[in-house]
């Protein structure tokens, strides 16, 4: 018997097209990698350990969907049933087909339409307990597994809340076509296999055989044509899905595999749009998990969430303001099931937008700013701290108490660290500021740079390449406390800690501020903290938001922070402090301030007979 029928063509041609298209795209991406990454890639895939660990990750993420499970079990199950179920159907179907063909060289369509090609094989009762019988059971079971996911997917269209999604992505035309075909594939397979089993009595599994008998019983015209048309439908839905796949959201399926390999082989995102960015963009499944976590929803902005931005990049059309409409808080990046670096993609687009703009910082000279003196620690308060002088005062007090010889680098006005410019995409322009600050820091001959501002902290670590240690003041003070340089006396009740974006998600500093606070305060739990913390709403990342929109976001964050009725809101960022205290019902204090207040008071405060010098001066005046 020749194992061929015309109806395999839509599937077969679709598959050839898909494989060719993906092969071409992958080749183009890998070829476009910078030389160093190409070396990494080639060396990496030859390295068995690296290759296996990447493969393991592919299995866990692309098939099991581990991150989806963590987010919501129902969502995880739905994705797993589609991915793992389909994958196993292909693998087991292939193994099953070997029994019937007796050869290792099957046509690619043979296992897919196996039940058609073997419909004339008689099945005896005792075969149920044999190997082919086991496979019939297994294949039915796997099909049921996939279909259960399909049912969930249909429910999700109506009740996305059950899946932990308040909002889902809007579709484009190709997505809808692909989706319709994808949803048709498995019911069509079920119909075709069942009808074939019922009509020819060729032996289906526990699901297809009874269903087939039923179908045959209720069909008015029992004929080969009915079976043929179902197989045609199955083949067509597969074929159309394969052909539309590269142009729809389902391109993420093959691309995610490549992205996982890239990541395991340490190929990093670049500052410009590279083939890595292309892979990331195509790996976005547009699942919409990033929509709900985006705080711009609170400000009534719902067109610039990561998924829409990435879709724009993919379609080669991003409206300018969409690139600028983002807090860069990194929350979407934390929850992305594919792990796409959404912030860095957004920055790449911003860089493209401002590439023609200039800056001129030639006015920055040490004559103007004053040359710094030398010391072991250099303290950089940061621009924002100049708006919250209490933080600077506290830091100076703490360092004086600890007996540290420090240099206050920006005592007389601060030169910006450069990150605000970089957030706007002006990396090239920021270099002027970075170079100048580096020179100033070098002049101090300090061994440690302490900053009060997480924005500065991040850019010092990421862009400055300083030969000295860099600490945020929460880490610095914690070290002072641990080495016994400052005694802590005071104690605060009910303090809630707010994680600044650039310190937490941006730089991974979560424990130091908490450890320090727990020494001087009773911390109350915050519903959303650590890497799930909310942005204060004052982020410098967004350009296209009015003051009212900023305030709306701050209000939501404050509601969340105030859930367990704290008496003090503690934070570790001058910008967060400045933003929160405008609307907060309780005091907002920086960690440094709290530590400073809990230090033992200087002598002239404690001694009863002596009054504060300022007070006595005031008395004189009166």
Partner 1 sequence: MVKNFGYKILSDASIDFDRNDKRIADYLKAHEPSMNLCIGCGSCTATCSAGHFVDFNIRRIHTFIRRGETNQVKRDILKCMFCGKCQLVCPRGVNLRNVILTINRAIEQTG
Residues at the site binding partner 1, with contacts judged by CB under 8 A: 324, 354, 356-361, 363-364, 368-369, 383-384, 386-387, 412-416, 420-421, 424, 426, 433, 538, 540, 543-548, 575, 578-579
Count the Cβ atoms, other than its own, within 10 Å of residue 618.
Answer: 11
Q: How far is the CB of 473 from partner 1 (least distance, A)?
A: 19
Cβ nearer to partner 1, comparing 84 with 415: 415
Cβ nearer to partner 1, comparing 246 with 506: 506
Q: How far is the CB of 387 from partner 1 (least distance, A)?
A: 6
Count the Cβ atoms, other than its own, within 10 Å of residue 467.
Answer: 8
CB 178 within 8 A of CB 114: no
Cβ nearer to partner 1, comparing 402 with 572: 572
Q: How does DSSP classify residue 386?
A: G
Q: How far is the CB of 540 from partner 1 (least distance, A)?
A: 5
Q: How far is the CB of 438 from partner 1 (least distance, A)?
A: 15
Q: How far is the CB of 446 from partner 1 (least distance, A)?
A: 22
Question: What is the signed CA dihedral for 426, 353, 333, 565, rounded to 10 degrees?
Answer: 70
Q: Is residue 428 classed exposed, middle or buried when 0-12, 13-18 and 19+ CB atoms within 10 A define those classes?
A: middle
- Compute CA distances 193 → 96, 125, 131, 198, whole Å: 15, 19, 19, 9
- Interior angle at CA 433, CA 430 and CA 434, nearest 5: 85
3-state SS, one letter per residue, for 316-348? CCCCHHHHHCCCCCCHHHHHCCCCCCHHHHHHH
Cβ nearer to partner 1, comparing 322 with 338: 322
Q: How far is the CB of 604 from partner 1 (least distance, A)?
A: 33
CB 352 within 8 A of CB 426: no
Cβ nearer to partner 1, comparing 97 with 304: 304
In this structure, is the dihedral angle defined by the CA atoms of residues 383, 385, 387 and 389, taken in order, positive or negative? negative
224 closest CA partner among 116, 335, 64, 369: 116
Q: How far is the CB of 566 from partner 1 (least distance, A)?
A: 24
Cβ nearer to partner 1, comparing 286 with 550: 550
Q: How far is the CB of 348 from partner 1 (least distance, A)?
A: 17
Q: How far is the CB of 423 from partner 1 (least distance, A)?
A: 8
The C-alpha atoms of residue 406 and residue 471 are separated, in whole angstroms, by: 14
Exposure string of 20-49, with b = 16+ CB inside 10 Å and e = fewer, is: ebbeebbeebbeebeeebeebbeebeeeee
Cβ nearer to partner 1, comparing 453 with 526: 453
- Compute CA distances 272 → 33, 160, 298, 355, 593, whole Å: 12, 36, 31, 11, 40
Cβ nearer to partner 1, comparing 465 with 547: 547
Tokens found for residue 604: 């002239």
Cβ nearer to partner 1, comparing 332 with 542: 542
Q: How far is the CB of 193 from partner 1 (least distance, A)?
A: 60
The C-alpha atoms of residue 11 and residue 241 are separated, in whole angstroms, by: 9
Q: How far is the CB of 543 from partner 1 (least distance, A)?
A: 4
Q: How far is the CB of 358 from partner 1 (least distance, A)?
A: 6
CB 269 within 8 A of CB 277: yes
Contacts of 140 (CB under 8 A, 6+ apart): 204, 205, 206, 207, 208
Cβ nearer to partner 1, comparing 413 with 525: 413
Cβ nearer to partner 1, comparing 223 with 355: 355
3-state secondary structure of 407: strand
Strand partners of residue 407: 378
Cβ nearer to partner 1, comparing 573 with 595: 573
């Amino acid at each position: 018997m020749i194992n061929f029928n015309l109806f395999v063509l839509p599937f077969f041609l679709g598959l050839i097209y898909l494989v060719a298209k993906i092969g071409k795209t992958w080749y183009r991406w890998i070829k476009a990698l910078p030389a160093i990454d190409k070396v990494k890639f080639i060396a990496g895939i030859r390295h068995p350990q690296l290759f296996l660990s990447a493969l393991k990750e592919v299995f866990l993420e692309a098939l099991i969907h581990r991150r989806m499970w963590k987010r919501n079990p129902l969502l995880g199950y739905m994705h797993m049933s589609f991915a793992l179920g389909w994958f196993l159907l292909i693998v087991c179907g292939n193994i099953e087909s070997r029994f019937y063909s007796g050869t290792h060289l099957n046509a690619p369509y043979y296992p897919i339409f196996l039940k058609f090609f073997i419909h004339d094989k008689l099945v005896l009762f005792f075969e149920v307990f044999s190997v082919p019988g086991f496979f019939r059971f297994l294949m039915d079971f796997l099909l049921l597994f996939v279909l259960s996911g399909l049912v969930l997917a249909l429910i999700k269209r109506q009740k996305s809340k059950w899946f932990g999604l308040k909002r889902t992505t809007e579709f484009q035309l190709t997505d809808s076509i692909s989706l319709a075909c994808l949803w048709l594939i498995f019911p069509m397979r079920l119909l075709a296999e069942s009808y074939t089993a019922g009509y020819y009595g060729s032996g289906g599994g526990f699901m297809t055989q009874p269903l087939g008998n039923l179908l045959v019983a209720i069909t008015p015209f029992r004929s080969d044509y009915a079976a043929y048309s179902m197989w045609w439908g199955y083949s067509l839905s597969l074929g159309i899905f394969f052909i539309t796949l590269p142009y729809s959201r389902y391109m993420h399926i093959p691309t995610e595999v490549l992205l996982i390999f890239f990541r395991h082989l340490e190929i990093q995102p670049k500052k410009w749009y590279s083939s890595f960015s292309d892979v990331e963009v195509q790996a976005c499944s547009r699942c919409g998990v990033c929509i709900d976590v985006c705080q711009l929803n609170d400000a009534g902005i719902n067109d610039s969430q990561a998924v829409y931005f990435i879709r724009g990049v993919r379609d080669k059309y991003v409206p300018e303001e969409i690139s600028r409409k983002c807090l860069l808080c990194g929350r979407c990046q934390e929850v992305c099931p594919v792990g796409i670096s959404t912030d860095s993609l957004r920055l790449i687009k911003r860089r493209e937008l401002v590439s023609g703009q200039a800056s001129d910082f030639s006015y920055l000279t040490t004559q103007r700013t004053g040359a710094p003196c030398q010391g072991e620690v250099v303290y950089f308060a940061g621009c924002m701290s100049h708006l919250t002088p209490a933080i600077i005062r506290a830091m100076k007090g703490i360092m004086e108490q600890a007996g540290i010889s420090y240099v206050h680098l920006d005592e007389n006005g601060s030169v910006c660290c450069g990150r605000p410019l970089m957030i706007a995409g002006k990396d090239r322009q920021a270099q002027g500021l970075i170079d100048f600050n580096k020179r100033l820091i070098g002049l101090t001959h300090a061994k440690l740079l302490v900053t009060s501002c997480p924005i500065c902290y991040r850019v010092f670590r990421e862009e400055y390449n300083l030969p000295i240690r860099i600490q945020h003041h929460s880490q610095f003070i914690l070290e002072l406390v641990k080495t016994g340089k400052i005694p802590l006396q005071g104690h605060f009740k009910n303090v809630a800690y707010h994680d600044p974006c650039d310190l937490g998600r941006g730089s991974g500093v979560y424990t130091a501020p908490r450890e320090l606070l727990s020494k001087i305060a009773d911390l109350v739990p915050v519903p959303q903290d650590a890497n799930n913390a909310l942005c204060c709403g004052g982020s410098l990342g967004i350009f296209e938001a009015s003051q009212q929109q900023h305030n709306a976001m701050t209000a939501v964050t404050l509601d969340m922070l105030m859930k367990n009725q704290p008496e003090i809101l503690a934070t570790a960022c001058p910008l967060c402090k400045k933003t929160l205290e405008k609307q907060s019902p309780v005091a907002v204090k920086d960690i440094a301030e709290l530590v400073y207040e809990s230090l033992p008071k200087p002598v002239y405060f404690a001694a009863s007979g002596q009054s504060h010098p300022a007070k006595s001066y005031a008395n004189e005046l009166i």
